[in-house]
Structure 1
Amino acid sequence: MFNHDETVSPRTRAAVHAAVADGAQFVIATGRPPRWIRPVVEELGFAPMAVCANGAVIYDPSTDTVVSARTLSVDTLAQLAEIATRVIPGAGLAVERIGERAHDTASPQFVSSPGYEHAWLNPDNTEVSVEDLLSAPAIKLLIRKAGATSADMAAELAGHIGTEGDLTYSTNNGLIEIVPRGISKATGVREVADPLGIPDAAVVAFGDMPNDVPMLLWAGRGVAMANAHPAALAAADEVTAPNSEDGVARVLERWWR
């Protein structure tokens, strides 16, 4: 939906607004935490429900309320941290925590181990000891190794994680994300859709990276962007234009203009 410059084009915005005006439910499904949702809402021009942290959090930006959250326990975090640092020597660790709102000032929400190199620009992490980092439940664990590829890291870790959590990634820039076992964007969107009586078959989902794969497979119609990761392309029912060429709008305009 976003262009490469993190904006929503007028055409895509108009298509989304037309769908919502006709009664469709629009849901943001993202790997981003709630505190990163405000710019998305501003670009869209309204505040739909948001499935955040790859399904671990359901957030209502219209009221700045965390509706529900699934977390990795302290014991599970310790197991995953041991596995990550053993299998990928030199990897840094970080965790996302959650409060009742997008910005909970009671404690830092994104904490990282000493020397953690952020995969994104404008990092907002708080550096703490590894002991402190693993001392509270978290909605996801991030494993970062600068200079590595996320695909290679995922391949190395896949056989070691077991039942402790589910791993995925949304960039190939040496960053792996682990969420509670069985949690994905698909479970998050279903959690929003079920109370509204929306069947799985009526869901149209858009995605472009491995963290979108469960949602693309589950939705009645999974749509991958033309520039998507091969795993997303393989999981989709159809492929639309790239995100920079209004791929989302081109699909929505079949029904709404």
Structure 2
Amino acid sequence: MITITKKLIALDLDGTTLNDDSQISPQTAETIRAAARQGYIVSIVTGRPNRLSENFYDDLKLETPMINFNGNLGILPHQEWNREYQYTIDKEIVTELLEKSKPLGLSLIAVEGRDMFLANRGLNTGFGFFPSSLKTNQVLSRKSLKTNPISITVQVEPELKQGLINFVEQQFGDQVEVSPWGGPHPIVEIATKGVHKSTGLKFLADYYGVLQKDIIAFGDEGNDLTMMEYAGTGVAMKNAIDKIKNSADEVTDFTNDDDGVARYLQDHLDIAVGQ
């Protein structure tokens, strides 16, 4: 009897599966769909909330669980699932940030859950992640925040960024950890302490019975590090930051803008596209 080894392909979105226009190219989409048809378990593992990743999940025609908020949420999109999990933050931390927003230099406080988005204001330069204007039921206040959120995202004045990080770590460091975003935006994300993309990847591996050595994980930024270290094969994008490239098992020959994931899969896993 021949046993077919299960392999899990974990895909980061931004800077990895998505090109620089935040889209999935036709070649990348078809290659990933072909991998799924050929029996590979393909899952999205992203820092994005589910509200900003389910469209890509649908485009790729995936039926696997999806991991959002850097490992803090695991769902089967568009349906209820008894294995769904989430890690949440005490909403009193949000209240504290709201009360001290001026001295801390916070121009934006946004909180999210699987089916929740609240913010203290819209953001004209939302760089695709936050709406420019809020609906009445999206305005953040002590009264409107009824449940504990999964994630807190704040925009802080650049010169006060380190002060905010110090404040959160001193006041709530036993409950949460602070992760500044990469890139030019003075954005800081706050989430449950000790939960990372590797948390979600281990959940997927356990769910499917996949060994670590049979996991391939793609990434480009600092939040991908734990996932790539957990995987048997951590693949850094050609456009990845040096820290990720230096810790990866392999680096793609092409960037996210040149179908780096698709070309790697076709070359290394013998994915037959167009069948």
**Which of 147, 151, 155 does residue 140 from structure 1 map onto?**
151
Q: Could you say which residue in structure 2 is the equivalent of 1:204?
A: 216
| SS of equivalent residue, structure 2 residue 203 | helix
**Which of 231, 235, 239 does residue 223 from structure 1 map onto?**
235
Question: CA contact under 8 A between 1:117 and 1:145: conserved in structure 2?
Answer: no
Q: Which amino acid aligns with 1:246?
A: D
Whole-angstrom distance in 1 between the partners of 2:91 and 2:111: 11
Tell me, which stretches of 5 or more residues in structure 2 are unaligned?
Answer: 1-16
Tell me, which stretches of 5 or more residues in structure 1 are unaligned?
Answer: 100-108
Question: CA contact under 8 A between 1:32 and 1:53: conserved in structure 2?
Answer: yes
Question: CA contact under 8 A between 1:204 and 1:219: conserved in structure 2?
Answer: yes
| SS of equivalent residue, structure 1 residue 14 | helix
Whole-angstrom distance in 1 between the partners of 2:99 and 2:162: 12
Calculate the TM-score normalised by the size of structure 2.
Answer: 0.75
Q: Which amino acid aligns with 2:88?
A: T
Q: 1:7 to 1:121 in 2, by over 3 A?
A: closer
Calculate the TM-score normalised by the size of structure 1.
Answer: 0.80
Whole-angstrom distance in 1 between the partners of 2:167 and 2:225: 19
Q: 1:181 to 1:87 in 2, by over 3 A?
A: farther
Whole-angstrom distance in 1 between the partners of 2:263 and 2:236: 12
Which whole-Å deviations, capped at 9, do the CAs of 1:78-118 have from their partners, x for residues lacking one? 56x3798488424421100234xxxxxxxxx1111247666
Question: CA contact under 8 A between 2:106 and 2:154: conserved in structure 1?
Answer: no
Question: CA contact under 8 A between 1:170 and 1:209: conserved in structure 2?
Answer: no
Q: Could you say which residue in structure 2 is the equivalent of 1:166?
A: 177
**Which of 68, 77, 91 does residue 85 from structure 2 map onto?**
68
Q: Does 1:157 align with 2:165?
A: yes
Q: Does 1:119 align with 2:126?
A: yes
Bigger Rg, which one:
2
Q: Could you say which residue in structure 2 is the equivalent of 1:103?
A: none
Is 136-145 or 53-62 further displaced after alignment?
Answer: 53-62
Would you say how many aligned residue pairs link Structure 1 and Structure 2? 244
Q: Percent identity?
A: 26
Is 116-125 or 189-198 further displaced after alignment?
Answer: 116-125
Q: Does 1:243 align with 2:260?
A: no
| SS of equivalent residue, structure 1 residue 27 | strand
Q: Which amino acid aligns with 2:87?
A: R
Question: CA contact under 8 A between 1:18 and 1:256: conserved in structure 2?
Answer: no
Q: Does 1:9 align with 2:25?
A: yes
Q: Which amino acid aligns with 2:178?
A: L
Q: CA deviation at 1:21?
A: 2.3
Question: CA contact under 8 A between 1:84 and 1:143: conserved in structure 2?
Answer: no
Whole-angstrom distance in 2 between the partners of 1:200 and 1:83: 45
Whole-angstrom distance in 2 between the partners of 1:239 and 1:87: 43
Q: How does 1:12-161 map to 2 (within 5 A)?
A: 12-61=28-77, 63=79, 67-78=84-95, 81=97, 85=101, 88-99=104-115, 109-114=116-121, 119-121=126-128, 123-124=130-131, 125=134, 128-132=139-143, 136-145=147-156, 148=158, 153=161, 157=165, 160-161=168-169
Question: CA contact under 8 A between 1:48 and 1:60: conserved in structure 2?
Answer: yes
Q: 1:200 to 1:88 in 2, by over 3 A?
A: farther
Q: Which amino acid aligns with 2:257?
A: S
Q: Could you say which residue in structure 2 is the equivalent of 1:194?
A: 206
Question: CA contact under 8 A between 1:7 and 1:43: conserved in structure 2?
Answer: no
Whole-angstrom distance in 2 between the partners of 1:118 and 1:59: 29
Whole-angstrom distance in 1 between the partners of 2:251 and 2:180: 20
